[in-house]
Each structure stands twice: as C-alpha cells, then as structure tokens.
C-alpha cells in the first residue's frame, strides 16, 4: 500500500503566515475599512417598498370646498380707485396709494385701534405714525414681474398682510391675511409667517402662489420648535 509522504516541517511552518494573511484580508473585505476616519459598513440595505394602502371609504367623499374659500374670501379682487397701469409694472404706482385704495374697498374697519384713520392720514410708508410698513417687492407668481407686499401693523401684536399684482393694467389684491407673527420672511416666491404657539413651539405658515386660484394661499401649516424659550 502506498502512502502520500508528509510535507517537510519547515514548509508547513512557512505556509502558516501566508494563510493567516489571506484570512485577515478576507475579513477586511467583508467588514469594510476599520481605520480611524475611514468609512465603515452600515449593514445590509433595507429593501425598498411601495407605500402600504390601509383604509379607504366605500365611496370617495365629496370635496370640502374651494381651497381657503373661507380664510381668503374675496381674493383675488381688483382694487378700485386706482389708475390703470398699462405696462403691468407695479413699481409705476405709489404703494401708499395702493394701501389707501385698498382701505376704501373694505366693508368693515380693520380693527378698533384706529388703524384705518392712521392709514388715511399716512404720508410716508414705514415711518411712524403710519402703520403700513415699508413696501416689499418680489415676483410671487413667477411671471417675471414684481408683486407688492404690504404689512399693516395693528395694535401690539397683529399684522395684516396684503399682496397686490397688476393684471391687464388693473391692480389686484392677491393676498389678505391677518397674522400674529413672531417673524415674516420672504424665501424665493414664498411668504413665511412664524407665530408663537405653546410649550416651546411655533406655528409656521407658508403662503405660495396658487395658479388655479390666482392668489397667494396657505400651502403649509406646521408646528416647529421655537427658537425662543
């Protein structure tokens, strides 16, 4: 009977470091880089799946109504008593004249603080005692032309937000909101209002152009952590 001769002792010992190096390299490749500051494996990636449908009514419910039909009633609407602007450039008309004309078209006073009378007597926007803030101009509807945004202070907390565009030469009201803001910001074509809520939170409202309604409507309402405790 023939047998395979055993390998020489020196050769077997020499193969051990090589085998250990091969095994270490395999572990390194499987586990990823482990050096400081180097990427590490995050484990298996979860499989993507479509949203799971839960419950649906037997019949689709009827619509609640037009978007913001109660909150933004009467918008858009032309502002009477102003000259036509053939160029549709709202910079061509006085922002103060727009504010005063808007006041004459309202069916009820703004408040009981005498704000209406202060607007009537106003001679310069953004200067006391005029309650209308300095005008802001921004393309809100994406047509390449500026709209006019006005803020009207009322009492210690409230601010009325009015926005106007020019459509076929006619100055038109496209936003009419009463807010109690911590801040009002313009971001791109959005008007962002942040109001204090409760327990360390604020309410954040984002008003954007609604091409169906031809007005600035509330598109986002969310609670966010307040930056002021």
Pairing of strands 215-225, 201-210: antiparallel
Residue 28 exposed, middle or buried by CB count within 10 Å (0-12, 13-18, 19+): exposed
pLDDT digits (tens, 9 = 90+) for 180-211: 999 999 999 999 999 999 889 999 999 999 99
Candidate from 14-18, 33-37, 205-209 with smallest mean pLDDT: 14-18
Whether the per-residue pLDDT at 22 is higher than 60: the answer is: no
Mean pLDDT, the chain, integer:
83
Whether the per-residue pLDDT at 151 is higher than 80: the answer is: yes
Return the pLDDT at 54.
84
Place of tokens 């202060």: 118
Any bridge partners for residue 210, and if so which?
A: 215
Residues 6+ apart with CB under 8 A from 83: 93
């Amino acid at each position: 009977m023939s047998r395979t001769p055993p390998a020489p002792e020196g050769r077997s010992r020499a193969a051990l470091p090589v085998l250990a190096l091969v095994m270490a390299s395999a572990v390194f490749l499987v586990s990823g880089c482990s050096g400081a500051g180097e990427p590490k494996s995050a484990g298996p990636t979860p499989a993507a799946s479509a949203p799971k449908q839960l419950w649906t009514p037997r019949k689709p419910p009827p619509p609640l109504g037009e978007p913001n039909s109660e909150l933004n009633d009467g918008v858009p609407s032309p502002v009477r008593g102003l000259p036509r602007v053939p160029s549709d450039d709202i910079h061509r008309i006085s922002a103060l004249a727009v504010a005063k004309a808007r006041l004459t078209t309202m069916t009820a006073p703004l408040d009981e603080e005498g704000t209406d009378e202060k607007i009537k007597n106003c001679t310069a926007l953004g200067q006391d005692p005029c309650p209308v803030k300095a005008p802001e101009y921004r393309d809100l509807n994406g047509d390449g032309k500026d709209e006019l945004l006005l803020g009207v202070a009322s009492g210690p907390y409230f601010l009325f937000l009015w926005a106007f565009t020019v459509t076929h030469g006619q100055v038109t009201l496209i936003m009419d909101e009463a807010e109690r803001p911590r801040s009002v910001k313009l971001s791109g074509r959005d008007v962002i209002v942040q109001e204090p809520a409760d327990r360390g939170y604020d309410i954040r409202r984002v008003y954007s152009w609604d091409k169906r309604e031809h007005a600035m409507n509330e598109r986002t309402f969310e609670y966010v952590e307040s930056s002021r405790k």
